[in-house]
Each structure stands twice: as C-alpha cells, then as structure tokens.
Structure 1
C-alpha cells in the first residue's frame, strides 16, 4: 500500500502571502486547458481571441459558481463560519457548480457575439475534462475527496487509515475521457454539440460510480447530490443527442 509523506498545502511564502499548492495546480490546469482550446479554435476556424475573451469572463464566474454550489450544500457549517466561505484555497469547489456557471456564461456570450453555442462548447469540452483530471491532484494535496477504508494494495494512507484514493480514480477516468474526446472530435459523422454532450455523459458516468466510494459527498437528505445530478445529466445529454439527430 502507498503511504506518502504529508505534503504541506503551502508551496511557498512571499512575505505575508502564502501560495498554496491547490492554487498552483488549478492555475496549471487552466493554463494547459487554455492552450489546447486555443489550438482547437484555430482548427475550427474560430478566432482564438474570441475564445480567449470568453475564458476571461467564464473562469471567475465558474469559480464563484463552484464555490456557491458547494457552500449551499454545506450551509450548516458555513452559516456558522461565514469567514470561511471565501477560503477556496482550502478546497471545496464543486465541478457541477462550475459547469453551471460556465454554461450560462457561454450561452449569454454566444448570443451577444452571434457565435454558435454548440461550436464553442465543443471546443471547450476536452480542455474542461483535462483540467478536471489535473485539478483532482489539488484534492490530494489538501487530503480531501478520498474514500472509505480499504485493504486493496493501492489504498493510500490518508487521515489515519488506508483509503480508496477516489481523487486518483477520478483523475484517471477524466484523463481517459479526454483522450476519447480528442479522438471523437475528429470523426466526420460528429455533429456540433456532440463532443460537449458526450463529455457530459462520460464524465457523469464515472462520477456516479466513484462518488459512492467517497466519504465527503454533498448530501440532499439520504441522497448523494453528485449521483443524482450525474443521472440527470446522462439522461438529459443522451436525450438531447437523440433529439437533435432525429430532428436533423
């Protein structure tokens, strides 16, 4: 079994400023995803500057959406610790909240710019899932998003016990989805929007099964929120692909 040494969440300090590994990893994920998206913009004859304009707006809104989503489902804690709501460097960014924020931003942006919504989200989809694959290692640094105790040989020693490294499971799944989307986007029979909708379905499928192993799931009564949302997204995205193909 793996028993890594504890990693200090603070990478380095500049005077009174502490730079956290979580922030460095997230920034790296955004940067790498942006490079891939800009190259894809050129391939699909979209001005990279237009996509960059969207990203500049979408990133902060996505972070706010991810944090807001998380805080809403952990309100019992944050209502008593208001000062912790802005402490995003400690973790607590929900991908579903980020997707809601990014999607709404893309809808409004494409309406204003007169660009096809489905085209721009297809460009973004591989970058999004790659960013998620990298970003999960921020959870490892913060010792969060882990699973129940296990005696499996790849269990990681976290919080006093060997546990399922669910952040690793999801990182591997997300990387696999990224590779699949990079292949899919070059197929001749793929219609606008189907790369993005396939991203939604494949990510949600992996998240549904991995979520059941986690100990820190956001809950809605007795239901794991991420599993409920994943099922809805799989059904919704699959139905939309079917409807759009039949309509065409």
Structure 2
C-alpha cells in the first residue's frame, strides 16, 4: 500500500531526442522536467482562479496577467535568494563556483523567499494597474495555496524533501540510489510523504478561505492574513519532520522559523486591518484609477479639457467606510464586497 517512487524516465521529457526521432536536429539540448511542469500548472491555476475572483470584485478581466509578470520574476529572484542564504554551505566554500548561485535550473528555491519577492511584485503591479494591493492579495490567497499544492508534486517526481522513516501504509518509497536517500538506512525504507501532507493541507486551506469568504468579508488584507496563518501552521508541522539538510537556528530549522513568522505576521495583519477597516473596500481600484477614470482623463486630454471625475473610488478609506455604513448614496451593497 506504500506510495511508489516515480520511474526516472517519467520525470523528464527529452525534446531534442524526440525531435531527432522525427528527423529534426536541434543545435542544443532541450529537456522538460516534471518539476517545471508542476510549477507551470500551479501558476496557471492561481492565475485562473485569481482572475475570476478579481472580476467578481469588479476588476477588468485579464488584469491578473500584469500582476503575474511582476510577481513571477521577483518571486523567482526571492525564492532563489532565500534558498541560497539559508543554505550557504552549498554555495560559499573554498574553491566554489559562485556563479552557481544563479543556476536556478540545478534546483533550490524556497517558497518563503518567493512570497517576499512576489509581494514586492504585487506592490509594483498595484502601482501599474491601479488595483489595490490588498484587493489583489486577498483574491490571490486561495489560488496561491492551490499553486503550492501543484508545485509539491514536483518534489514527488524529484524524490526530494521527504520526511523521517515511517511504517505507515502510505509511506513513500525512495530509490536507494537517489542522492537524497539517507546513508545507513536499508533499501526499502519508507518515509513520510511530506509533499502529500502539504498538498492535502493546501487544498483544504484554499477551500476554507473561499468558504470563509462567503460568510465574512475577507477584504483589506484579511484573506492574505488567513493564508499566512493557515500555511504557516501547516508548514511548521511538515517542516519539522523533514530530513533534508537545513540551517539550524537555536535547534530549529530555518523554514520552521520562517513559518512561525508567517503565522505571527498573519495574526498581526488580521488584528490591525480588522481594527483599522470596519467596512468594505470602496472599490477594488485606487482612487482615480478605475477604467472609467482613466478613460475620462484620456478623453479630456484629447479634447483639451481638464477632467473632473468623481466616483466612489475617490473616497478616502475612512470616508468610504463611513459611507458604507451610513445613508450616503455612494455606499455599496453589503454583499458586493465578499471575496
């Protein structure tokens, strides 16, 4: 009943060899790895779901692409940087090739670094598109968990980042010739499939956030806060049973510390934003940045006039919240802001 290891031939697809079989020669070697496919599938899932949630909030369809371009690049940079900084012994030693720090294709990325870099990318995307940072972050939260779940399948194909030995029936088989197989253990030893634990946890978290959003308004960053707490709690548990090499601080793996800080940041964010913002977001767009505002200014510029456009997005945050709870004609229906 154990989980079998994937056959090495199932983890990569040699495009060059395939084309040569068709009589087409390429001047270079092109291989598609299963891990990369899993990451790509995760990105597509997150983009699709986030786009749907943004459209439901009143954002133009396709805006998610602009955010993705920013967040993806900086997310990769952050993911690689975090991994290198938390595994310095793998890259900084006498005679080391320092260029390997940039060799992302050799493996070695960290989700917490991706979150930090991606957050900067989302902030830039917000400035670019005019969509509020919190609006996008809250819309992204469940899709991000699903993307991480898809990415964890890549760990299965790579036979990496598994847990301690176990006798449970769902234990993971690992090829004893695999470099990650612990020395001194007999062939046939089963390990905790931490990739599977995290997949189940992340999918459950995505469903929880979407269901919770039907009951309460997860706006002003509260959806992101729930994501941070949910993922952080699970990661602390799963990370603690992994046996892959890691830097240790005060007897605790660095990613456990990172998960702890994610939970703490999520809790503080939830408390602060709940206290600061008692009403709905007045608009998913920043003041003066709705598509109608932009179109009006463009038209006024063509006509040589000065645009005078006043919409509900031009409220200050405080004014908008007071309006949403009072009788002001600009108040939005109570159900319009649910994520």
What TM-score, normalized to structure 1? 0.92
Q: Partner residue of 2:15?
A: 13
SS state at 1:150 partner: coil
Are 1:124 and 2:165 an aligned pair?
no
- 2-structure distance, mates of 1:94, 1:12: 26
Q: Equivalents in 1 of 2:45, 2:276: separation in Å?
A: 36
Number of matched pairs: 248
Greater alpha carbon shift after TM alignment, 50-59 vs 218-227: 218-227
Instruction: Determine helix, strand or coil for the equivalent of 1:19.
Output: strand
Deviation at 1:239, TM superposition (A): 1.9
Distance change >3 Å, CA 84–CA 125, structure 1 → 2? same
2:159 corresponds to: 143
Q: CA separation of 1:87/1:20 partners in 2, compared to 1, >3 Å: closer, same or farther?
A: farther
Deviates more, 1:37-46 or 1:132-141: 37-46
The 5 Å alignment of 1:89-168 reads 89-158=105-174, 159=181, 160=187, 161-168=189-196
Deviation at 1:214, TM superposition (A): 0.2
Matched, 1:237 2:255: no
Counterpart for residue 78 of structure 2: 65
Match for residue 216 of structure 1?
Answer: 244
- Displacement of 1:186 in angstroms is 2.6
**How far apart are the structure 2 equivalents of 1:55 and 1:131?**
13
SS at match of 1:48: coil
**Higher mean displacement: 24-33 or 2-11:** 2-11
Shift of 1:113: 4.2
RMSD of Structure 2 on Structure 1 (CA): 1.9
User: In the alignment, what sits opposite 2:276?
Assistant: 247
Question: Where does structure 2 lack aligned partners over 5 or more consecutive residues?
Answer: 17-25, 175-180, 182-186, 278-339
Q: Alpha-carbon deviation of 1:112? A: 4.8
Q: Which moved more, 1:109-118 or 1:119-128?
A: 109-118
